[in-house]
Amino acid sequence: MLASLGRALIALLATTRHVSGSSSSEQDQFKDVQWDDDNWMIRTHALDPGHYQSRLTLANGYFGINVASAGPFFEIDEPVDGNVISGWPLFSRRQTFSTIAGFWNSQPRTNGTNYPWLYQYGWESFVAGIPHWSGLQVEANGELLNASVNPEHITDFVSSLDVKAGIASWRYNWKPGGSEDGVIDVDYQLFVHKLYVNKAAVRLRLMATRDVNVTVYDVLDGDCAVRSDFVDKKYEEDSPTIWSAVQPGNITNVTAYVYSTLTGSDWVDFSTREQVDEGFFSDGNAWRPTELSKFIGVASTDAFPDPQAVAKEASESGAEEEWGTILTLDSVDDYYLQNGSLPKDPNIQELHILARTNPFYLLSNMIGPNAVTAAGNNTQLNIHSVPVCGLGSDCYGGMIFWDADVWIAPGVQVSHPQHAQNIINYRVEHFEQAKRNVETAYTSSKNQTGRFTPGGAVYPWASGRFGNCTGTGACFDYEYHLNGDISLAFNNHMIITGDQEYFKDTLLPISNAIAHFFGQVLDFNETSGAFELWNATGPDEYANQVNNAGYTTALIQRQFLETNEFNSRFGLSPNASWADKAAKMRLPINENAGIIVEYAGMNGSVQVKQADVVLVDDLLHYPNPYSLSNLDYYAAKQSLDGPAMTYSSFAVVANEVSPSGCSSFTYNLYSALPYVRAPWYQYSEQLMDNVEENGGTHPAFPFLTGMGGTNRVAIFGYLGLGLYYDKLDVDPSLPTQIEYLNYRTFYWMGHGINATSNTTHTTLARLPRGQYTLPTVDATYFVKPIPVTIGTRSGRNSTILELGDEPLVIRNRPMGETLTVAGNLLQCGTLLPPPQGNKPGQFPVAAIDGAASTKWQPEFSNVTSYLTIDLGDSSFYPVKKIAMDWGNQPPRHFEVYFTNSSLPPFSMQTESDEIRNVTTGKVQISAPWDPVTAYEIRAYVGNQTNITLNNCVWSGRFAHLGVKGNQYSESTTEGGTVAEWNLIRGI
């Protein structure tokens, strides 16, 4: 497809500018990035062309775009280790992308699938691209400024993202052709309107140190319009406008129009405009320094009857913006202390930044109620849900997965429920197709005549335009849990918004249809006398076609019980057969290990792709005596090649079920820090992006699922929010590292609530009705207090408290203050930054968080790596015992030192009054790998070393642990693991 191009000829007169410094610095690992916390501004000084991690995505919920590191340009990736391929199922070339919500195509097959034999039963539907619309390219001295500009010709580079306003900026000095003569100061800004969702704008300012002629090209790049069919394009003669139109492949009744209109300074002579063919650029004459603005209009037939007129009008007019009314200070979690300072701990600072950036990226891909109203109450705008990587990427084919309902939605639902409505609406929109999908049981192992009766509904695992069953999106013999996950999102929507009428009339019928389907997809096991789900896949996609999957079994059981409960609440008859089936369902349990197994027949060699059994405690109102043992067992079984959402679930569950320690904080860090990429705090799907090192996965990017996971932790983990329709349930406990947390405004039955936690107590307060009440509010609680309970699922306290006009103060669970090992001096203590690196996600804090389920692992085995804990300068303690849990890859040697001022590294021969070597030795393996018992399911036990000292040794201010080597294998280059380091106080 040929690109659409226009140009305006201008000249730049000599000017100069002053470059000011940054206002604040970011964490060390983002060495070229600064975060300005006063203004919520990210800045980077690193130009990193050709790499997807450095590209920024902007969107408004209707359309979005991904742009190059050098500016708002179309860009193709540079190969890394010979690889330039995106992931499953497209396996296409990585490049910048732009699309419109719901702009899905139709095609017979693709390069990847789950069940290739299902191709014969239905075509696939993947996201199609539109022309890349933001390019304003500049030609000077024979060189073109675009994504391929020579980095050596760029100096003083700074690019920024204004998170409060949604504006991306680039400013730098460009030396066209490398010449010092005629250096051009380039200043781009890119803006996608959040309120008027058909509009975007690009502004270009050019200044020069001497007179220089330039040519500017307005580009709509058709290379971006993958899986689309060209319809038309035009260069308008009577206005500075170009436009292009495309259709998603094989969809002839949908057309998207992209308009671009230029405006400029008074001295810009638009009479010099001319249409140019692709790849052809010519010189021109002009006279002054200048500014050009490019106004974009985008619309498609999916939401607008006359998309061309809408796009044209949007391109010709400006607009106001509303980011400032959406992403307000009280709508995000805030880690500032009560004295107005931000903690110095870089981990807390990073969580504080992510508490702003994660909601920004998530909300960027959701339509708000004001935008729907501004578009003439256009309800077709917000029915397309949120793809895994949003509207600036075609990762996972731009399809809709459980990611939207379970990971992306919840943290946004509680604070911005009307934005998350599009996730609900997508499922409602495809309900009729979900009912028809049941009729395709003949393609599956459930092909028994008369098995399925009318009234059921089943959604495909992945879907685009049609919501039908396909090779990538199977309806049968795969991840049935999606259907129950959808129903959970419905329940949450009602509990958060208070919209009981919509729930009863629209959502509850879908939940009933899902329960109807579940009732018929189960099989009865004559031997066990239980109803079971056979031939399915749970959330762990390493385990396919298994029977009696643990999480899915619990989910179906709760689907039966809670759907009947809601039916009774709204005056409908409960279904007796569902109650009977629920009573006869049994979770697969291994009593010896005290865990729920993932599926019948699982053995101890299992490796888990992503959170599975742990979701029973995270997502379901399920009484579970195995919660803690599940957490410990499956933490040891998680694959390092799994996607970036598992550990947010672990963080939530750890904060709920751990009796001691601060592992929830470790898991919170694990959910974010290894996956966040510089400079824009966007997430990768993988710990490592190198395909050769991460198990062969081409990471999805930017991975909204991971962002949504981290965005859940504070509100559902630390506050312990449980969503029940008849009570506001919380179970607060802050890890010791977090001194104070002001949670985002959240809603319960439509009422706005604020919560703040310090180290000992949490305060709940109702917010003013005028500003913090949803239109769908349950008015009952205007005249009576909100009932509040503490830890309902865990049975902590059955007392019902009342939240009225006065704040309610609740004591936190003192989890961090409770010692896992009695007398331990180190648990959740002050950790000094180690002098060496660690493996991704294997943080030093894991060695002192009171939980063996988390581990520290140094980066290298051939050097001694140290941990240093500051015990304080006011008290020394007698130490009688050292207790180590090494985890599953013990080091070969260890050493423990006390000092009052010295810090590592130390020599093993070092002995002095200041540096005391408490103990040194070879690590003995207490739980060696045994091939005979490796397949047995056993409760997790790490390798342990316990040393009782002959005499108590007085600690110093600092305690140091050094480890070297790794006994996993001789060839292992990574350091050994340390699950827990305990220094036990003597009498």
- DSSP secondary-structure letter at 223? G
pLDDT tens track for 801-816:
999 999 999 999 999 8
Length reported for the chain: 987
DSSP state of 542: T
* pLDDT > 80? residue 646: yes
Quick one: pLDDT at residue 484? Answer: 98
Q: What residues contact 428, with CB distance under 8 A and at least 6 apart?
A: 383, 506, 507, 510
pLDDT tens column, 609-626: 999 999 999 999 999 999
| pLDDT at residue 13 greater than cutoff 50 | no
Q: Which of 247, 273, 272 is nearest to 260 (CA)?
A: 273
- Three-class secondary structure of residue 666 per DSSP: helix
Residue with tokens 């380091």: 981
Strands (E), 125-266: 132-140, 143-145, 154-162, 167-174, 184-192, 199-208, 212-221, 228-235, 241-248, 256-264
Active-site hit among 541, 565, 817, 859: 541
Among left, alpha and beta (phi > 0; psi -120 to 50; other), residue 544 is beta
Q: Alpha-carbon distance 113 to 103, whole Å? A: 21
* C-alpha 811 chain-centroid distance: 31
- Band (pLDDT 50/70/90 cuts) for residue 1 is very low
- pLDDT value for 912: 67
| Residue 917 or 468, more confident | 468
Close Cβ partners of 362 (under 8 Å, ≥ 6 residues apart): 386, 408, 411, 412, 704, 707, 708, 711
State pLDDT tens for residues 97-116: 999 999 999 999 999 999 99
Query: Using CA of residue 330, residue 334, residue 337, residue 341, what is the dihedral sign?
Result: negative
How much is the pLDDT for 270?
A: 58
- Confidence band of 796 (pLDDT split at 50, 70, 90): confident
Average pLDDT rounded to a whole number, residues 823-839: 94
- For 227-258, the three-class secondary structure string (H helix, E strand, C coil) is CEEEEEEEECCCCCEEEEEEEECCCCCCCEEE
**Mean pLDDT on 778-800:** 92
pLDDT number for residue 318? 57
Q: Which of 435-444, 495-504, 912-921 has the lowest mean pLDDT?
A: 912-921
* CB of 259 closer than 8 Å to CB of 300: no
CA separation (Å) from 891 to 895, 909, 921, 960? 11, 19, 11, 16
Q: What contacts 909, CB < 8 A, 6 or more positions away?
A: none
Q: What is the pLDDT of residues 928-981, one digit of tens each?
A: 877 778 889 998 888 999 999 999 999 999 999 999 999 988 888 999 999 999
Confidence (pLDDT) at 911: 61
Is pLDDT at 16 greater than 60 in this prediction?
Answer: no
Quick one: pLDDT band at residue 695, thresholds 50, 70, 90? confident
**SS3 breakdown of the chain: % helix, strand, coil, rounded to 5?**
25, 25, 50
pLDDT band per the 50, 70, 90 thresholds, residue 787: very high
Quote the percentage of the chain above a pLDDT of 70. Answer: 94
pLDDT digits (tens, 9 = 90+) for 18-62: 222 222 223 466 889 999 999 999 999 999 999 999 999 999 999
pLDDT of residue 283: 33
Q: Is 541 a catalytic residue?
A: yes
What confidence tens digit (pLDDT) does each residue in 134-150 have?
999 999 988 999 999 99
Region 915-929: mean pLDDT is 88
CB 797 within 8 A of CB 730: no
User: CA–CA separation, 244 vs 235, rounded Å?
Assistant: 9
More confident residue, 176 or 279: 176
543, 449, 586, 457 alpha-carbon torsion, rounded to 10°: 80
pLDDT score, position 274 = 66
Q: What is the 3-state secondary structure (H, E, C) of 14-26?
A: ECCCCCCCCCCCC
What average pLDDT does this structure show over 669-681?
Answer: 96
Weakest mean pLDDT among 484-498, 648-662, 781-795, 906-920: 906-920
Mean pLDDT of the chain: 92
